[in-house]
A and B are shown apart, each in its own frame.
Chain A
Amino acid sequence: SQTIHQWPATLVQPVGSPLSLECTVEGTSNPNLYWYRQAAGRGLQLLFYSVGIGQISSEVPQNLSASRPQDRQFILSSKKLLLSDSGFYLCAWQDRGPNYGYTFGSGTRLTVV
């Protein structure tokens, strides 16, 4: 069966520290992968998406970057966190093609202090 794993679940990091969030998908190949961020009480903002290894599209200019070193692995990174980077980070994939909805990972709640 197909599953998506995301870790860590929660993270408290000081301003200026680096960040690495990882997402892996099992049971499928060449999935479209997405990183979204959700601010408190708000909807989801698309940060990055990837249609294949090494192919990353950025939606908003920001302090973050993404990489896809393997087919089913998607990593979100930052060299120096800002207070404004706090939020709920969600990895998602489409299990049936680009016209279908997402399956989300369990999310990482990041607090920058």
Chain B
Amino acid sequence: QKEVEQNSGPLSVPEGAIASLNCTYSDRVSQSFFWYRQYSGKSPELIMSIYSNGDKEDGRFTAQLNKASQYVSLLIRDSQPSDSATYLCAVGTNAGKSTFGDGTTLTVKP
């Protein structure tokens, strides 16, 4: 079993729809959880961090964490074509290292 698993994708949604990206992790002692956006050919960019159970909202993005289920998700509301990218889920330890999933590629169709 991989340490961090994401939807295999690719995921395609129409413009204006909600995109839902999911991630599960295996290490129960993980404390920090991140979502990165990576455009094709570019380096990843941190878009959301979440540390406690529940929802965290930032603009059109909402991260959800359920430590009991070892599950993290990212919702993108009112999806735009500019949101088309690969989204990487990462799980961090208190030592600073992060383990990444393989990513889910999202395409938002106009």
Which chain A residues have a beta carbon within 8 Å of chain B's beta carbons?
Answer: 32, 34, 36, 41-46, 49, 51, 59, 90, 94, 97-107
Cβ contact within 8 Å between A102 and B97: no
In whole angstroms, how far apart are the Cα atoms of A71 and B100 in the complex? Answer: 26
Would you give 20 A-B contacts (Cβ < 8 Å), ordered by A? A34-B97, A36-B100, A41-B102, A42-B102, A43-B4, A43-B100, A44-B44, A46-B98, A49-B96, A51-B96, A97-B96, A98-B92, A101-B32, A101-B46, A101-B98, A102-B34, A102-B98, A104-B45, A106-B43, A107-B42
Q: Is the CB of B94 closer than 8 A to any CB of chain A? A: yes
Other-chain residue from B31, B45, B100 in contact with A99 (beta carbon distance below 8 A): B31
CB distance from A92 to the nearest CB of B (A): 9
Closest B residue to A45 by beta carbon equals B100
Residues of chain B contacted by A46 (CB below 8 angstroms):
97-99
* Residues of B7-49 whose CB lies within 8 A of A: 31-32, 34, 36, 42-46, 49
Given known A-B contacts A49-B97, A94-B96, A101 and B102 have beta carbons under 8 A apart: no
Other-chain residue from B43, B92, B98 in contact with A105 (beta carbon distance below 8 A): B43
Closest A residue to B86 by beta carbon equals A41
In whole angstroms, how far apart are the Cα atoms of A72 and B88 in the complex? Answer: 26
In whole angstroms, how far apart are the Cα atoms of A110 and B94 in the complex? Answer: 31
CB distance from B5 to the nearest CB of A (A): 10
Cβ contact within 8 Å between A44 and B88: yes
CB distance from B29 to the nearest CB of A (A): 13
Cβ contact within 8 Å between B96 and A43: no
In whole angstroms, how far apart are the Cα atoms of A36 and B96 in the complex? Answer: 13
Cβ contact within 8 Å between A102 and B46: yes
Given known A-B contacts A46-B99, A49-B96, A94-B96, A99 and B43 have beta carbons under 8 A apart: no
Closest A residue to B49 by beta carbon equals A101
Cβ contact within 8 Å between A99 and B94: yes
